[in-house]
Amino acid sequence: MKIVFMLYSSKNIVTVLPWQLPVNTKKEIRTEGLFTALNDCAFRSMYKHKYAAMVDVDEFLVPRKVKTIPQLLDSKNDTTLGSFVLKNAFFYLYWENATLTREFAESPYLITMYKTRKDIN
């Protein structure tokens, strides 16, 4: 993962910030560190960008009625909007894999092709 971030950083696509979190346990990192990181990102983005998405590295934003995220944002071109709330779904790794059609059976294993059963919250 570090290699990916360093590649994107070298292309000025992402900014990697050094962090020293004063936490002792994984639970503290999840609870305290997560909110600190999200708040930091929100405040750094506030006057730089029109939109900012808080997305984990294992999450995907997938529009349903248009093909791209910019098209989705443009379709809601309303100056009174302050934020978007996106519905999420969980695709658990411990659930069985989907059976692929013969067309995809020879493809390399891509988790997004096999984990198609979801739990919507």
Written as tens digits, the pLDDT of the chain (121 aa) is 678 888 999 999 888 888 877 778 888 877 778 888 888 888 988 888 888 888 877 788 888 888 998 888 888 766 777 777 778 777 777 888 777 666 666 677 777 777 777 777 6
Query: How many residues in the chain?
Result: 121
101, 50: one domain? no
13, 43: one domain? yes
Query: What is the pTM assigned to this prediction?
Result: 0.55
34, 75: one domain? yes
58, 103: one domain? no
55, 11: one domain? yes
CB of 9 closer than 8 Å to CB of 15: yes
Look up tokens 């950083």; give the residue.
9
114, 59: one domain? no
Confidence (pLDDT) at 59: 82
Range of the domain at 113: 87-121
Domain count, the chain: 2
